[in-house]
Amino acid sequence: MQHKVIDAKDVVIRFAGDSGDGMQLTGTLFANLSAIYGNGLSTFPDYPAEIRAPKGTVAGVSGFQVHIGSGKVNTPGDFCDMLVAMNPAALKANAKWLKRNATVLVNEDAFDDMGLDKAGFKGNPFEELHIEDRNIIIAPITKLTEESLKDSGLDIASIHKCKNMFTLGMACFIYNRPLDYVYTYLEGRFRKKHPEMIEPNRKVVNDGYNYASNIQAVADTYTIVPEAKEKGIYRNITGNQALAWGLMAASEKSGLPLFCGSYPITPATAILEELAIHKNLGVKTMQTEDEIAGICSAIGASFAGSLAVTTTSGPGLSLKSEALGLAVMTELPLVVVDVQRAGPCTGMPTKTEQTDLNEALYGRNGESPVVVMAAHSPANCFDAAFNAAKIALEHMTPVLLLSEGFLGNGSEPWKIPSMSDYPVIRPRIAKADGTKFQPFRRDEKTLARDWAPAGTPGLEHRVGGLEKTHSGVLSTDPDNHALMVAERAEKVARVAEAIPDLVIDGPESGDVLLVGWGGTMGHILTAAEELRSRGINVSRVHFDYINPLPKNTREVLSGFKKIIVCELNSGQFEAYLRSCFPEFEYIGCDKVQGQVFLVRDIIGAVAPELLKEQED
Amino acid sequence: MAKYTFKDFKSDQEIRWCPGCGDFSVLAALQRTLPVVCEEKGIDKDKIVVVSGIGCSSRLPYYMDTYGFHSIHGRATAIATGIKVANPDLCVWQVSGDGDALAIGGNHFIHAIRRNIDINLMLFNNRIYGMTKGQYSPTSRLGTVTKTSPYGTVEPPFNPGSLVLGAKGTFFARSIDTELALNQEIMLAASRHHGTAVMEFLTNCMIFNNGSHAEISAKDVKADRTIVLRDGEKMIFGKDRNKGIMLDGWKLKVVTIGEDGVTEDDILTHDSHSDNLGLQTMLAEMRWPEFPVALGVIRQVPAQTYEDEVARQVEEVSAKARIHDMDSLLVSGSTWEQK
């Protein structure tokens, strides 16, 4: 049948189903093929901590939201244009994210009495959720998949596993996506171990595509025409992968082998997994017996001359605290990555938050300053990791890099850089000069000490957690301690000389400055654009460096009447800014729900009246 | 390669152990052994790293003129592991007390042994917490009265040897602080062993646990209450060299040669190189008064080491891979071009 083709600037699609329904894969494939098609995109996986939560229950719903647009897309989108719900629970869990004119595609076969009952529906689920006015497509996806594969020779369980591919086919038709990428993916995935699965999967995707083209319910289809982007080679990349690659890039640019000692923890594990693959680039990874051994093995590797890294999430960072203090005291280069999740304690491991900032800044005994940085988008994790390593090696200090579950698991298209665009990293390797090596003698400019990795001829020395003099002799002398405390703090403070100034997006002075740090950048940026488009003048500034703060921070803040600090915690960065610059007034725009901001959250903090207009 | 004497391994730092502390003699043994180690391995002393945790014995790295790392409580094993994996050419010696290695650092201790990382781990066992001034440790005997156990401990101790062999350790040796010659002997054996070499030194804490090993180490009783195991030698001990260890069914027993028809042929011959974990465990667990306490190298068997395997994978994967730099990696896999 004929369909009207609507040209859309951007659309948000949410794939949701049971945690075993393959929705993460469906979403990832849809995102990747859209990226290759040339669209901008941002993704947001939202899944339960249980690998297979109780089947059919709302708690077990796994979702993957992808926002695709003609040009650059900065957020995964607040509300969706299309929801794919593979069962009633998925519909129930996600109905609140539907736009007014949204399309809902449901698998009719899962909407039987048992499915409805498990999700807690009593009657018509669409009426109960008040979404009966949306464009609802009810398709017997399970039966159609069975029909499609009845001659495939596959058993029924294997056939049912293919139903997410039928859904993908339908979505590809509705959004005019080419299927070539899916075919290439299936080839690569199954060629070696299960070549018999290639053809059935291909067929199901294709049948889903054709089915969507034949039914009445699909009235309109959409195209999202890619805008011309900057020329170059692109790839879609998740934050965790980009972070791992950034560390490897720093290893190449510093000429030092990379060592990573880590313990698996959600949502940071993928960094260790990624690093473990790349032994061809000389990377040594160690899955240690616990978090403490992760950081301690890294400190040992640093003492032996490696670019040393440990990766973790909040609870793991707590366990590493004492050893991080040891890295502060021994002044060894070390990168500690914290992919933050919702806390406290185990909290909500698969949900995102920015609640570890205080821990990063203050979570150690004694006065033990470390450099604290944050990545602001999935692709930016590459640069952030590279810069963290550069600072650690050139300033002889541990660097704590904050990422977030949202960044680690989220993805975006990335224009692949050339390594020639990145600076050489110059570790402060000491050379024997015939005099006795003084391990804590400092560079006049940066106050960084020299690094004499164990094994360097003629520079034998001892380091440790006890206070020492510049020459490395143990000392409890009051003046020496005061001096060393001050010097360690000043050394970190002087990193400000090596980091870029803040860049203001918008006028340099005005009524409102939106302030953010970390993974909220896309949302704040989108909110600022929308506010401006509706006549409200705001400026925006984003902090990649938290300790030390960029040198022009005071100057930037002084230009505005109202400073609104947006963050996914209860005001930690706001309190930090207040402690650094008490002369300004700050307003918090906080969210601690284990979820990313909605653009409307930020708009509401600036101009609540606009939200009211929207609702009307 | 330089020739060294023990003086080359003495640092200029003042030693701050209590007078009479057992740690002095183990330190001296190490300083006397390392010149031989360097010669045997053909290395200079900048390849020697001494790593410790926290506790009295953990001050030792400061007294050695080598690379040294005095770390945090319990974590020396993890740090030593990182050092060795990062640079397998380094010769790593760890010093930990019974609290450091077996209480707060117990997890790292057993996992280092499981991985068989090539480090020489000197466990100074004085059965007490000295640095915090006298609390019981995981090796304090049941009922030991200390400041935190004023009515005696109610928890049985670890035997470090059982722990090492239980984790299928590839090397375990035991000695007493004052046995300078034996200490050098087992340190050298540890150095030659490729893998985690745990040496337990029964050390005396003059201040908080004086005489804790005296029942076996005192001059007049030592010969009857300890046995030095040496490969190929019969397990014979005693002032009169007439007592021996033999197998009685599944168990060991002490016998007197010449009594009840026992001849020297009945006595077991020590073989630390055989992979006989059962017998070696029984030897490590011998306790006075039923048995003499076994000293010397009880077990040393070959096995792959962790750092070698890590390095081997890096080498093998690199040899097969097409990608050897970041620029090639960045454009590999699924990419697209915007023209």
The per-residue pLDDT for range A403-440, each reduced to its tens digit, is 999 999 999 999 999 999 999 999 999 999 989 999 99
A with B: how many residue pairs have Cβ under 8 Å apart?
Answer: 204
CB-nearest to B314 from A279, A301, A303 is: A279
Residue B59 in this model has a pLDDT that exceeds 90: yes
pLDDT at residue A228, as a whole number: 82
| Cα A448 to chain centroid, rounded | 31
User: What's the mean per-residue pLDDT of chain A?
Assistant: 95
Q: What is d(CA A253, CA A426) in angstroms, rounded to the nearest whole number?
A: 8
What pLDDT, on a 0 to 100 scale, did the predictor assign at position A613? 66
Q: Domain limits of chain B?
A: 6-233+271-306, 236-269
CB-based contact A498:A395 (threshold 8 Å): yes
Q: Which of A18-27, A556-565, B302-311 has the lowest mean pLDDT?
A: A18-27
Question: How confident is the model at residue A205, as a pLDDT?
Answer: 96
A614 band by pLDDT with thresholds 50, 70 and 90: low
**Confidence grade of residue A168 (pLDDT, cut at 50, 70, 90):** very high
pLDDT at A55: 87
Please give the C-alpha separations between residue B15 and each of A219, A438, B49, B176, in angstroms, as whole numbers.
86, 20, 19, 21
| d(C-alpha B38, C-alpha B115), whole Å | 25
Neighbours of A198 (CB within 10 A): 16
Neighbour tally for A59: CB within 10 Å: 12
A231 to chain B nearest CA, in Å? 5
The CATH class, in words, for B6-233+271-306 is: alpha beta
Question: Does A185 have pLDDT greater than 90?
Answer: no
For residues A485-503, give the mean pLDDT: 98
* Tens-place pLDDT, residues A246-262: 999 999 999 999 999 99
Q: What digits encode the pLDDT tens for the residues A333-344?
A: 999 999 999 999
Residue A309 CB partners (closer than 8 Å, separation 6+): A247, A258, A259, A260, A261, A262, A275, A298, A334, A335, A336, A337, A389
pLDDT in tens, A442-480: 999 999 999 999 999 999 999 999 999 999 999 999 999
Rounded to a whole number of angstroms, the CA Rg of chain A reads: 26
Q: Name which of A197-201, A522-526, B202-206 the model is least confident about.
A: A197-201
Cα–Cα distances in angstroms (integers) from residue A585 to residues A543, A557, B129, in the given order: 18, 10, 53
Mean pLDDT of B10-34: 95
Name the pairing type of β-strands B293-300 and B171-176: antiparallel
- Rounded CA-CA distance A162/A194 in Å is 14
Question: Which residue from B minimizes the CA distance to A294?
Answer: B78
- Residue A225 half-sphere exposure, CB side, CA atoms within 13 Å? 5
Residue A500 CB neighbour total at 10 angstroms:
11
Is the pTM higher than 0.90? The answer reads yes
C-alpha span between A33 and A66 (Å, rounded):
12
Distance between B63 CA and the closest CA of chain A, angstroms: 9
Cβ–Cβ gap A300/B81 under 8 Å: yes
The neighbouring-strand residues paired with A308 are A259
Q: At A49, is the pLDDT very low, low, confident or very high (cuts 50, 70, 90)? A: confident
pLDDT of residue A333: 98
Domains in chain A, please, with CATH?
4-223 (3.40.920.10), 238-498 (3.40.50.970), 510-615 (3.40.50.920)
A91 vs B210: CA distance, rounded Å: 73
CB A339 within 8 A of CB A313: yes
Least confident range from A478-487, B9-18, B176-185: namely: B9-18
Q: For residue B62, how many C-alpha atoms fall within 13 Å in the half-sphere facing its CB?
A: 24
Which residue of B78, B326, B331 is in closest CB contact with A292?
A: B78
Q: What percentage of chain B exceeds 70 in pLDDT?
A: 100
Of A279, A292, A326, the CB nearest to B318: A279
Q: Does the structure show a pLDDT above 90 at A1?
A: no
pLDDT greater than 80 at residue A615: no
> Best of A292, A295, A297, A414 to disrupt the B interface by mutation (most B CBs within 10 Å)?
A297
C-alpha closest to that of A47 among A6, A87, A15: A15
How many Å lie between the alpha carbon of B245 and the closest alpha carbon of chain A? Answer: 39
A167 Cβ contact partners less than 8 Å away, ≥ 6 residues apart: A15, A26, A84, A86, A105, A107, A141, A208
CB contact under 8 A, A300 and B111: no
DSSP secondary structure of B10-53? B-SSPP-SPTT-THHHHHHHHHHHHHHHHHHHT--GGGEEEEE-
Matching residue, tokens 């999700």:
A119
Question: Residues A361-383: pLDDT tens digits?
Answer: 999 999 999 999 999 999 999 99
pLDDT digits (tens, 9 = 90+) for A5-35: 899 999 999 999 998 889 999 999 999 889 8
Q: Write the burial class of residue A1 (CB in 10 Å: 0-12 exposed, 13-18 middle, 19+ buried).
A: exposed
A230 to chain B: nearest residue by CA? B338
Query: Cβ contacts (< 8 Å) between B15 and chain A: which residues?
Result: none
Which residues are CB-contacts of A533 (< 8 A; sequence separation ≥ 6)?
Answer: none
Q: How far apart are the first and last CA of chain A?
A: 36
User: Model confidence at A616, in pLDDT bands (50, 70, 90)?
Assistant: very low
pLDDT for B286 beyond 90: yes
Mean pLDDT of A171-178: 93
pLDDT at A51 over 80: no
What is the percentage of chain A residues whose pLDDT exceeds 90?
Answer: 88
Residue A558 CB partners (closer than 8 Å, separation 6+):
A584
Measured between beta carbons, the chain B residues lying within 8 angstroms of A290 are 107
Of A144-148, A227-231, A560-564, B106-110, the least confident: A227-231
> How much is the ipTM here?
0.97
**What was the pLDDT predicted at A30?**
94
pLDDT digit string, tens, across residues A60-73? 999 999 999 999 99
